[in-house]
């Protein structure tokens, strides 16, 4: 995972998410990369920049359906170059990843809200 120079601002929410769900673990499978959180099978979206020749992801968001009406964003990480003060700050990668989770959640029958644990459990109604 990435370590953003400003992550101290979300420290309380990060600790809350880690206590509630566990630590993310990157796993290589036959189908590619996946992220497990504790013993939960989570959904993961990776962001890639086609201009980067390394092929490495530049961001990731990990989320889970935690109840019949709720999806929780457990972890969000972006490469420092794509953070608010990074070289590619204009892409707003963190916001884009959260919006993609909201789009996915809106297509799931019964989901009414997305909870983002990094910011004192921000609730986003769909």
d(CA 83, CA 92): 7
Instruction: Considering only CA atoms, give the Rg of the chain.
Output: 14
Choose between 90 and 2: higher pLDDT.
90
What pTM does this model have?
0.79
Burial 111-123 (b: 16+ CB within 10 A, else e): beebbbbbeeeee
**pLDDT at position 21:** 80
Distances (CA, A) of 83 to 44, 57, 96, 105, 124: 19, 14, 12, 24, 22
Q: Determine the pLDDT at residue 3.
A: 54
Q: Inform me whether the pLDDT recorded for 104 exceeds 60.
A: yes
Confidence band (pLDDT; 50, 70, 90) for 29?
A: confident
Q: How far apart are CA 96 and CA 11, in angstroms?
A: 21
Residue 94, C-beta contacts closer than 8 angstroms, at least 6 positions apart: 59, 76, 78, 82, 83, 84
Q: How many CA atoms lie within 13 A of 28 on its CB side?
A: 0
Using the structure block, give the residue that is written with the tokens 């993310």.
24
The answer to whether position 2 is within a domain reads no
Residue 63 located in a structural domain: yes
Domains in the chain, number = 1
Domain assignment present for 1: no
Q: What is the pLDDT of residue 1?
A: 47
- pLDDT above 60 for 59: yes
| Average per-residue pLDDT for the chain | 82
* Confidence label for 122 from pLDDT (cuts 50, 70 and 90): low
Which tops the pLDDT comparison, 93 or 24? 93
Residue 120's pLDDT is 59
What CATH number corresponds to the domain at position 11?
Answer: 3.40.630.30
Tell me whether residue 17 is in a domain. Answer: yes
Characterize the bridge pairing of strands 43-47 and 59-67.
Answer: antiparallel
């Amino acid at each position: 995972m990435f370590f953003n120079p400003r992550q101290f601002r979300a420290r309380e929410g990060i600790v809350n998410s880690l206590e509630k769900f566990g630590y993310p673990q990157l796993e290589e499978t036959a189908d590619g990369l996946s992220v497990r959180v504790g013993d939960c099978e989570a959904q993961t979206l990776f962001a890639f920049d086609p201009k980067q020749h390394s092929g490495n992801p530049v961001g990731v968001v990990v989320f889970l359906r935690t109840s019949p009406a709720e999806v929780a964003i457990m972890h969000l990480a972006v490469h420092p170059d794509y953070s608010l003060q990074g070289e590619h700050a204009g892409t707003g990668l963190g916001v884009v990843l959260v919006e993609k989770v909201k789009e996915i959640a809106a297509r799931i029958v019964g989901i009414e809200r997305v909870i983002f644990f990094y910011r004192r459990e921000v609730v986003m109604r769909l």
